[in-house]
């Protein structure tokens, strides 16, 4: 992002400020137990509100549906590959892995889909950065891990991917592969950065985040939602499942891309009314 700004405005000074968040520091505790993925953005947003930084760049997958007062997601560059991928020993694909193979993931969403569709595999909860997770495979602690394709590509590690998982097999998280630029509301700086904006990505994000917002929960829920636009029409697929993967409700909706947020909201309402609310209520009750 910084290089794109420097290229567009030669000679401009761009300072990168690295902020370690609680989500980065507390890697040995389940996200669900310490406040969800919002822990990856809270300290960054506090710096933005104080004026210590002018822009915050987030993986939108980590950003809660509700933003703090005074802040907004102003720009969304073009989406990277939204799929999940498998990193496995000997480059095995899912269908080739023996019964009982241990697959690591820190995501409830991935866990329920594995348990529902690939119940011969064992799901092992893990935390840590991308390199730490992959090392568990090379050190023979796990037979495979599932991570986001976007992260692997941004790190230049695409050659280490064993299997790209299509959305029909592993539905992505809301906004997976999308970076968002958060600013203070009505900041005039945004006008100078419009060259970074990708409208298709913005609409896909709007539909997916509207779905999450209607659910009324945080990012760390056993849900998935993925919008894709073709020829001015957006199709949004979503699912909610029980933690054991035994029950999964999956639906889709399509309509004009400019109505993405309304469609995402409607899809969430449909799933909630057909059993999704009961699933989420049971999960929240268990966490109390």
Prediction pTM value: 0.89
Q: CA-CA distance, 91 to 85, in Å (whole number)?
A: 12
In this structure, the strands spanning 102-105 and 144-148 are parallel
278, 274, 49, 60: which is closest to 177 by C-alpha? 60
In this structure, the strands spanning 223-230 and 233-241 are antiparallel
Which CATH fold would you assign to the domain 84-165?
D-Maltodextrin-Binding Protein; domain 2 (3.40.190)
Q: Which residue blocks in 98-176 are alpha helix, DSSP H?
A: 108-117, 130-138, 149-154
Cα three-residue angle 177-91-221, rounded to 5 degrees? 40
Q: CA-CA distance, 29 to 171, in Å (whole number)?
A: 25
Three-state DSSP at 253 gives strand
Structure tokens at 199: 């409208």
Residue 287: the pLDDT is 63
> Which residue matches tokens 């609310």?
277
Starting at the edge strand that comes first in sequence, how are the strands of the sheet with 233-241 ordered?
Answer: 223-230, 233-241, 248-256
Give ranges for CATH 3.30.160.40 in the chain: 2-80+174-287
Contacts of 81 (CB under 8 A, 6+ apart): 149, 150, 153, 177
Residue 172: the pLDDT is 97
Catalytic residues: 62
Residue 175: the pLDDT is 96
* Category of 28 on φ-ψ map: left (φ > 0), alpha (ψ -120 to 50) or beta: alpha
Please say whether the beta carbons of 49 and 184 come within 8 A. Answer: yes
- pLDDT, tens only, 122-176: 999 998 889 999 999 999 999 999 999 999 999 999 999 999 999 999 999 999 9
Residues of the chain with pLDDT below 70 are: 21-39, 217-220, 287-288
Residue 30 CB coordination number (10 Å): 13
Q: How far is CA 212 from CA 68, 132, 152, 202, in A?
A: 16, 29, 25, 15
Residue 250: the pLDDT is 97
- pLDDT, tens only, 217-245: 555 689 999 999 999 999 999 999 999 99
Give ranges for CATH 3.40.190.10 in the chain: 84-165
Residue 130 burial (C-beta neighbours within 10 Å; 0-12, 13-18, 19+): middle
Which CATH fold would you assign to the domain 2-80+174-287?
Double Stranded RNA Binding Domain (3.30.160)
């Amino acid at each position: 992002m910084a290089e794109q700004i420097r290229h567009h405005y030669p000679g401009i000074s761009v300072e990168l400020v690295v902020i370690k968040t609680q989500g980065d520091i507390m890697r040995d505790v389940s996200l669900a137990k310490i406040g969800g993925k919002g822990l990856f953005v809270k300290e960054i947003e506090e710096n933005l509100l104080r004026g210590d930084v002018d822009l915050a760049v987030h993986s939108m997958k980590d950003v809660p549906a509700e933003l703090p007062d005074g802040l907004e997601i102003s720009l969304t560059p073009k989406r990277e590959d939204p799929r999940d991928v498998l990193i496995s020993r000997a480059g095995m694909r899912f269908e080739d892995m023996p019964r009982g193979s241990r697959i690591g993931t820190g995501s409830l969403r991935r866990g329920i889909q594995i348990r529902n569709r690939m119940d011969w595999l064992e799901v092992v909860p893990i935390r840590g950065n991308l390199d730490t997770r992959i090392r568990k495979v090379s050190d023979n602690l796990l037979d495979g891990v599932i991570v986001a394709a976007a992260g692997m590509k941004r790190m230049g590690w695409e050659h280490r991917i064993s299997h790209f998982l299509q959305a029909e097999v592993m539905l992505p998280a809301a906004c997976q592969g999308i970076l968002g630029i958060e600013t203070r509301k009505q900041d005039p700086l945004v006008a100078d950065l419009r060259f970074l904006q990708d409208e298709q990505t913005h609409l896909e994000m709007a539909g997916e985040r509207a779905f999450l917002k209607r659910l009324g929960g945080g990012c760390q829920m056993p849900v998935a939602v993925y919008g894709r636009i073709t020829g001015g029409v957006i199709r949004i697929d979503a699912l909610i499942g029980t933690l054991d993967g035994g029950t999964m409700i999956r639906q889709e909706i399509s309509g004009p891309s400019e109505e993405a947020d309304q469609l995402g909201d409607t899809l969430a309402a449909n799933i909630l009314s057909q059993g999704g609310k009961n699933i989420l209520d049971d999960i929240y009750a268990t966490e109390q």
